[in-house]
């Protein structure tokens, strides 16, 4: 059984951008734990403490690391900026990274 069912783990994290002019990203745990187990992401992809994952940056996402491990081929793509950055206006156009 997925522990999220047991604990009802459904918190949505707001992950602040490291650039001052950019709106942050949202990470809804519940949407992910419906598909995935905790150990698909913890501890090897993400630290369990918010904003503590070393090297976690948008550029790494676009390189197919962190969020980009799945949001390149399996889940909706990195180019769909607004689904992770709901407050972002007229996002720039990027090339889709090659899935690993």
Point out which residues bind ligand HEC (CB under 6 A): 3-4, 9, 11, 13, 15, 17-19, 22, 25-29, 31-33, 35-36, 38, 40-42, 45-53, 56-58, 61, 66-67, 69-71, 74-76, 78-81, 83-85, 91-92, 94
Phi, psi dihedral angles at 59 (to 5 degrees): -65, -35
Measured from the CB of residue 97, what is the shortest distance to ligand HEC in angstroms? 10
- The residues that bridge with 25 in the sheet, in sequence order, are 15
Under DSSP, the state recorded for 96 is P
Q: What is the Cα–Cα distance from 48 to 1, expressed in whole angstroms?
A: 20
Measured from the CB of residue 60, what is the shortest distance to ligand HEC in angstroms? 8
The residue among 42 and 100 lying less far from ligand HEC, judged by its C-beta, is 42
Measured from the CB of residue 10, what is the shortest distance to ligand HEC in angstroms? 9
Q: What is the Cα–Cα distance from 21 to 35, expressed in whole angstroms?
A: 33
The residue among 19 and 98 lying less far from ligand HEC, judged by its C-beta, is 19
Q: What is the Cα–Cα distance from 77 to 64, expressed in whole angstroms?
A: 11
């Amino acid at each position: 059984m997925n522990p999220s069912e047991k604990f009802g783990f459904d918190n949505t994290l707001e992950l602040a951008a490291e650039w001052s002019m950019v709106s942050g990203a949202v990470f809804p745990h519940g949407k992910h734990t419906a598909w995935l187990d905790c150990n698909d992401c913890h501890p090897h992809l993400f630290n369990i403490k918010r904003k503590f994952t070393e090297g976690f940056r948008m550029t790494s996402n676009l390189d197919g690391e962190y969020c980009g491990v799945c949001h390149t081929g399996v889940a909706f793509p990195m180019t769909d900026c607004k689904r992770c950055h709901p407050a972002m206006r007229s996002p720039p156009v990027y090339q889709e990274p090659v899935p690993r």
